[in-house]
Structure 1
Amino acid sequence: MSNILTIAMPKGRIFEEAVELLRKADYKLPPEFDDSRKLIIDVAEEGLRFILAKPMDVATYVEHGVADVGIAGKDVLLEEERDVYELLDLKISHCYLAVAGLPDTKMNEVAPRVATKYPNVAEAYFREQGEQVEIIKLNGSIELAPIIGLSDRIVDIVSTGRTLKENGLSEYERIINVTSRFIVNPVSYRMKDKQIDEMVTRLSEVV
């Protein structure tokens, strides 16, 4: 097994905050790292390889061992239920999962529908509430669903709440707070425990 430690990272805001955290932990990442359009970036002097992926795919890469470790939102981990170890709460990219819909509207009592890109989380939440709902899986523009009459409610990630307000929606319930977590492949943790433990220690000191 290679001595290179492969890290799966989500593109976007989490990537930017995670890179800042790694630099604080004294990992020497080159300046061009931030603006690179490459999907695989090698940082040979640190013995690291980065795979840039969609946030929902990070845990999949780690579970299947193409990445040793990764940084993934708790929302993704709850939804995907991948076979990975969650070693550290990095306390970055704070947001939360919430139930939202048009203001002052009740759920349809006959066949309530909930649109979301988190079908497993949404189904579990409403089941806990004793409500039987039809889950409609969407991949984007979730806010559109109640506006056009596709659903009574949505379950989605909320950061500032601005997107909900701009689309005339109200938040009804908060499901769970979300931050990004440091995850590891179980086999990699046995084979590369020293490298992984060192990274966890260094990150723990700056979280």
Structure 2
Amino acid sequence: MTAPYPAAATEPEADGPIVLALPKGRILAEAGQLLARAGVEPAPDYADEDSRRLRFPTSDPALDVIRVRPFDVATFVAFGAAQIGICGADVLMEFDYSEIYAPLDLGIGACRVSVAEPRDTAGSDDPQRWSQVRVATKYPNIARRHYAARGIQAEIVHLNGAMELAPGMGLSRLIVDLVQTGSTLKANGLVETEVIAKVTSRLIVNRSALKTRPEAIGAWIARFRAALAGTDKAAA
């Protein structure tokens, strides 16, 4: 289901700096390299997880950076609090905000949304015979859609972390989670049994901001596109 854009959402600032929402965690370093290729240098403490600041100026006075939780990037952009952002495709799949436009696949943060279950029981039953299944996940919409397409009702146990514990503790039969190397699954006695979607990070844009500030937003899209292409135009 497409997430509606609330009528009371914040309007993008008409003449202030463009705000870029970046995700905390593992993608931040890769995003920093991309920013550098685009000719942008945020304040030094933007990558410091101990910094209490959440909004940072950059070497370009037309751009500020905010650092938020990965799942919140899409929300900040959809509601107009940030005009652009860098967001994993998994988050876009989960929330499906109608006010978000994703013009560029940045090719960073590569991972996948996968199904995993205990090694000891994997393959012991044919999923095509299931009518329902209990799933632990932080992606309830993705999980429901995935199993509904197969005629299976997914009973969701919504967790925000430690998903790998759920099958062994009797919370669920399997999990749907983000997987990068699979080492955490292996350490907890789970195996990856199905890939639902391959994931990379995208440049996302607030549609209203694109309409009200087309030159400014369009210029940033062009700079990121040039950075991806490795051209000197990125810092122009």
TM-score, normalised by the number of residues in structure 1: 0.93
> Which residue does 2:75 correspond to in 1?
60
Structure 2: 5+ residue stretches without partners: 1-13, 229-236
1:104 deviates by 4.3
- Among candidates 195, 198, 201, match of residue 177 of structure 1: 198
The residue that corresponds to 1:123 in the other structure is 144
- For 1:32 and 1:133, locate their aligned partners in 2 and report how far apart those are by CA, in whole Å: 43
**3-state secondary structure, aligned to 2:163:** coil
| Worse-superposed segment, 117-126 or 23-32 | 23-32
**1:7·1:68 contact (CA, 8 Å) conserved in 2?**
yes
The residue aligned with 2:170 is 149
Partner letter of residue 176 of structure 1?
A: A
Matched pairs, number: 207
Distance 2:130 2:147 in 1: 14
Give the aligned partner of residue 86 of structure 1.
102
Equivalent residue letter for 1:69 = I
Cα RMSD (Å): 1.8
Whether contact under 8 Å (2:131, 2:152) holds in the other structure is no
Structure 1, unaligned stretches of length 5 or more?
none
Shift of 1:110: 7.1
Other-structure match for 1:136:
157
- Kept in 1, the 8 Å contact 2:42–2:59? The answer is no
Match of 1:98 in 2: 114
- Percent of paired sites with the same residue: 43
Q: Which residue of 2 aligns with 1:113?
A: 134
| Alpha-carbon shift at residue 192 of structure 1 (Å) | 1.8
TM-score w.r.t. length of structure 2? 0.82
Q: 2:35 matched to which residue of 1? A: 22
Query: Which stretch has the larger CA shift, 150-159 or 127-136?
Result: 127-136
**Of 212, 216, 228, the match for 1:191:** 212
CA displacement at 1:25 relative to structure 2? 1.4
CA distance in 2, matches of 1:104, 1:156: 19
Once the 2 structures are TM-superposed, how far is the Cα of residue 109 of structure 1 from its aligned partner? Answer: 4.9
User: Which secondary structure state, in structure 2, belongs to the residue aligned with residue 46 of structure 1?
Assistant: coil
* Post-superposition offset of 1:14: 1.4
How far apart are residue 164 of structure 1 and its match? Answer: 0.3
Query: Helix, strand or coil: the match of 1:143?
Result: helix
**Shift, 1:202, TM fit:** 1.7
Instruction: Work out whether residues 28 and 46 of structure 1, in 8 Å CA contact, stay in contact via their aligned partners in 2.
Output: no
Within 1, Cα distance between the matches of 2:91 and 2:183?
22
Query: Aligned equivalents of 1:19 and 1:191: distance in 2?
Result: 27
